[in-house]
Structure 1
Amino acid sequence: MPLLRALLDGGLDDPEAVRIGDTAFSGPELLGAAAVVADEIAERDRPSAPVAVGATASAETVVAIVGCLLAGAPVVPVPPDAGPAERAHVLTDSGATTWFGEKPRDVTLTGRRVDLSRRAGHEVREATGEGPALILYTSGTTGSPKGVLLSAAAMATGLDGLADAWAWTDADTLAHGLPLFHVHGLVLGVFGALRIGSRLVHTGRPTPENYAAAVTEHGGSLLFGVPTVWSRVAAEPTAAAALSDARLLVSGSAPLPVPVFERLRDLTGQAPVERYGMSETMITLAVRADGERRPGWVGVPVEGVEARLRAVTEDESGEPVTTDEDVPADGESIGELQVRGACLFDGYLNRPDATADTWTDDGWFRTGDAAVVDAGGYHRIVGRRSVDLIKSGGYRIGAGEVETALLAYEGISEAAVVGEPDSDLGQRIVAHVVCPDGAVDAQAVIDFVGERLSKHKRPREVVVVDELPRNAMGKVQKARLRRS
């Protein structure tokens, strides 16, 4: 079944069915504009070659990407803030031959502009094929970004799982202001609406005022945001109160701080739901619309997904090693999260070794994330196994637990914990904190955490910073915090 099922079946016939900023389309209008792009792609010397799209938050981006799906050409969304070196790597590695959108000066590909006024008059269907529909570039801890190969079938399966979890139907209006070059904003936030048939409102800039207007002026019922967005909404009581008419507030891409969770609940009358996923996996864990909403917990496997936690030990050099043993479902024991299901990716482009390294011998994807699971199947993500699993004084400590405690301290708005080499402890816990109202007493912060968690989990050092380094999706880049 096509990824864009509702769009292709004639749904979304409301003139305001798809609104991107100040531009609105009905489903047939979007389809007609995208078909023009598909026709241009079909006329190329290599119609099936990848197409790069300058993925600004615009109607032109949506039309171009839908056009690529119709034509059967893999689409490579390029972040608008990518630097020349990153952009050159993405274009060279992907093999893209055409660029849609405003073309940067350093790009030598054939450029095409999207004309929003043009429509194709012929019947349009989505191309079918076994190859990737989307090539998303994601950065790891080392090396250049890798191209994640996502098929239309995998994305469709993942979206159907979320529709089940969130009771997402064509009666909803999806609203968000997320970037259109990532799974969250593009796949969930655009393809989801075009598959399920819900109206779509992209707010442009993800400001509290724009989110409030999406609900009060456009009837937004299902809202997507990253923690940075929700933190800003929670800081604006009037805007937050306007979201009380929405059906579901969804947070993802990074952990939602507990104080933000609680303030949103108090201001909007409902607790947000959290979920977990990666570019490689779509969304694999989610709090259901009818499920318990606990701050810091990302829920249960979505329909069609299996998850397990494998125990982590260490090799002779002290490096973490994942075993074949499951950890107890006690809500405390930390293990590496592994998943499997039909929504997973097909591998990394041109990287067979990297692809092989991510899979276990029995067919499970190694997420590289450390997590705990309770007896009811609820998961909490501790962090990346490589940077958030800290070995200090013989104890294995999850950075996320310490960060949650830090955020409960009055005066700290953001926190990131890393392990730094220590001759005595192996690693010492260092907390980097943002304090909008000025500096805090470091020893008081250390004692505060020590009173709430085990003593060995308290930071040994507190560093006050103006801001934490984050990527476009709001995830803290901890490698930039480490000083050694």
Structure 2
Amino acid sequence: MPAVPLLTALYGERDRPDALTVDGRACSYEELLGAAGAVARRAAGTKAFAVEATASLETVAAVVGGLLAGVPVVPIAPDAGSGEREHILRDSGAEPLTVDFAERADHTGPPAGDTALVLYTSGTTGPPKGVLISRAAIAADLDALAAAWQWTADDTLVHGLPLFHVHGLVLGVLGALRAGSRLVHTGRPTPAGYAAAGGTLYFGVPTVWQRVVRDEEAARALSGARLLVSGSAPLPAPVFEELRRLTGHEPVERYGMTETLITLSTRAAGERRPGVVGTPLPGIVTRVADAADGIGELQLKGPTLFDGYLGRPDATAASYTADGWFRTGDIAAIEPDGVHRIVGRASTDLIKSGGYRIGAGEVENALLAHPAVREAAVVGAPHADLGQQIVAYVVASGVTEAELTDFVAARLSAHKRPRAVRFLAELPRNAMGKPQKRLLPPL
């Protein structure tokens, strides 16, 4: 796919000196295109190049430059350890590239290839794998989301998400450049930064929205927005309700993976309710396989899927079923009206206890409804009689284990109550704010 359609805004007639603002620094489309042209000239002919994906105009110029040149860009987290960094560079064959935003050049040559990005997985099941994301997949996804969220050039998008993930980079930067909306990246996703930005469209992960609702003044400042979007992890129902109370907005929730981009979403013009991620975007088809008790593994087909894992044909093949469906590894339920509800990861969030299949997210939401509980993560632990027992890790004060157990049992079925509760000062989380259940301490 040629560069012009993917980066529509850069070639349009609408420009302004603050078309993009990243961590307090602003530039026009013309300035961005010149800096990206210099990157493209330097990157031309390379297999791939890596960039330290800080929250900066330099990162944006690097990614746009890669798209201009048709050279895959490999974003690396700024806080990546030396071992992770070395693995990514070795595995991808990418050459590190630094960007001088003051350097400008024209670039008008056709792009060399279709792979836009190589995004590395978190490495929870082994060394991180490089996910090949094509220009065509990005274009298809951004157009589908623009329609779903009524996202136009009249919007101002605000977020402070990392630029080495799909959410912050593909949606939060390339989405703005395709839609032509002004972008304000706040550097860090603080409630004060969000409140001061004056946006119409806001992106956040649940951790961000939790912090926003704890700052009532900042939350109420978002009442003038058009749409709040939450993703990358399930949004707790109490946070959904607090956003509605304080901002007047019911947030849009969506679902996706690095390998699939965004595939499900509630709609700007549709009903939104806590705990659901909407219906498939245009071109996406879904099924729930091996369903029992109404839930099973979510499987997908569609134009937004990745082109495979770099150099790992066996892993790529294993991620698909024999009849060609991508296996997400997430457990979902499809409600009678077609709306999807994500229960969690099959490996950690589907608990089989006493013959019941229990979604960890449902128990987490029940715990978070208690006023003393600030954070909660629920897992299944081996149990001689039940197979697995429900174990809750909570960040809370002024409440006992027995009180929380009884609180959950009063709201859910008795078999869904935690058998053990452990109190922590904080939950382990990754850069996107997702709880890392594999890092929870043992009982």
TM range (shorter): over 0.9
* Per-residue deviation, 1:457: 1.0
How far residue 11 of structure 1 moved from its aligned partner, in angstroms, is 4.5
Q: For residue 365 of structure 1, what is the aligned residue in structure 2?
A: 326
The 3 A distance-change label for structure 1 pair 11 and 284 is farther
Query: Does 2:426 match 1:480?
Result: no
User: Contact conserved, 1:55 with 1:181, CA < 8 A, in 2?
Assistant: yes
Structure 1: tracts of 5 or more residues without a match: 101-111, 313-326
Query: How much has 1:439 moved relative to structure 2?
Result: 4.5
The aligned counterpart of 2:100 is 115
Q: Do the aligned partners of 2:76 and 2:164 also contact (CA within 8 Å) in 1? A: yes
CA–CA distance in structure 2, aligned partners of residues 411 and 147 of structure 1: 41
- How much does 1:353 deviate? 1.1
Residues 482/302 of structure 1: CA separation in 2 closer, same or farther (3 Å cut): farther
Task: Tell me, yes or no, if the aligned pair for 1:416 and 1:478 is still in contact at 8 Å.
Answer: yes
How far 1:380 moved relative to its partner? 1.0
Selected match of 2:196 from 210, 213, 221 = 213
Aligned 8 A contact 1:38 1:71 in 2 = yes
**What CA distance in whole angstroms lies between the structure 1 residues aligned with 2:327 and 2:124?**
15
Tell me which residue corresponds to 2:422: 463
Q: Write out per-residue CA displacement over residues 171-193 of structure 1, whole angstroms, 9 at most, x where no aligned residue.
A: 11111000000000000000001
Superimposed CA distance per residue, residues 241-270 of structure 1 (whole angstroms, 9 cap, x where no aligned partner): 111111000000011111111111111111
> What is aligned with 1:441?
400
Distance 1:169 1:189 in 2: 14
Kept in 1, the 8 Å contact 2:279–2:340? The answer is yes
Q: Describe the shift of the 1:22–1:343 C-alpha distance in structure 2 as closer, same or farther (beyond 3 A).
A: same
Match 2:370 to one of 389, 396, 409 = 409
CA contact 1:7–1:28 (8 Å) conserved in 2: no
In the other structure, the counterpart of 2:127 is: 144
Displacement after TM superposition at 1:8 (Å): 3.9
Residue 9 (structure 1) shift: 2.3
**Unaligned ranges ≥5, structure 2:** none
Query: Corresponding residue for 1:321?
Result: none
1:86 aligns with 2:61: no
The letter for the 1-side match of 2:192 is E
Structure 1 residues 12, 65: CA separation in 2 closer, same or farther (over 3 Å shift)? farther
Q: Are positions 1:343 and 2:314 aligned together? A: no
Matches within 5 A, 1:147-162: 147-162=130-145
Q: CA RMSD in A?
A: 1.5
CA change 1:364–1:35 in 2 (3 A) is same
Q: Does residue 178 of structure 1 match 2:158?
A: no
- Aligned partner of 1:108 in structure 2 is none
Are 1:201 and 2:203 counterparts?
no
Q: 1:23 to 1:397 in 2, by over 3 A?
A: same
Task: Provide the C-alpha distance between the structure 1 equivalents of 2:440 and 2:173, rounded to a whole number of angstroms.
Answer: 34
- Matched with 1:68 is 66
CA deviation string 1:246-302 (max 9, x = no partner): 100000001111111111111111111110000000000101001111011111111
In the superposition, relative to structure 1, how do residues 20 and 124 fare at CA in structure 2: closer, same or farther (>3 Å)? farther
Q: Distance in 2 between matches of 1:63 and 1:124?
A: 16
Tell me the distance in 1 between the aligned counterparts of 2:110 and 2:285.
30
C-alpha distance in structure 2 between counterparts of 1:68 and 1:288, whole Å: 32
User: Is residue 252–residue 267 contact of structure 2 (8 Å, CA) maintained in 1?
Assistant: yes
Deviation of 1:12 after TM superposition, in Å, equals: 4.5
- Cα deviation for residue 118 of structure 1 reads 2.4
Higher alpha-carbon deviation: 460-469 or 7-16: 7-16
Per the normalisation by structure 1, the TM-score is 0.89
Distance 1:12 1:277, change over 3 A: farther
**In the alignment, residue 278 of structure 2 is paired with which amino acid?**
G
Give CA deviations for 1:395-423 in whole Å, capped at 9, x if unaligned.
11111111111111120011100111111
Aligned residues: 441
Range that drifts further, 332-341 or 182-191: 332-341
Distance apart, 1:479 and its partner CA = 1.1
Per-residue CA distance 1:204-249 (angstroms, 9 max, x = gap): 111111001111xxxx111000011111111111111111111000
The alignment-based identity, stated in percent, is 63
Is 1:222–2:206 an aligned residue pair? no
Question: 1:41-440 alignment to 2 at 5 Å?
Answer: 41-42=43-44, 47-97=45-95, 99-100=96-97, 112=98, 114-120=99-105, 122=106, 124=108, 127-130=111-114, 132-215=115-198, 220-312=199-291, 333-435=294-396, 438-440=397-399
C-alpha contact 1:69 1:126 (8 A) present in aligned 2: no
Q: CA deviation at 1:433?
A: 0.5
Residue type at the aligned position of 2:219: A
Contact 1:420 1:483 in 2 (8 A): no
Answer whether contact 1:4 1:195 (CA < 8 A) is retained: yes
Maintained 8 Å contact 1:420/1:430: yes
Any conservation in 1 of the 2:194–2:218 contact (CA below 8 Å)? yes
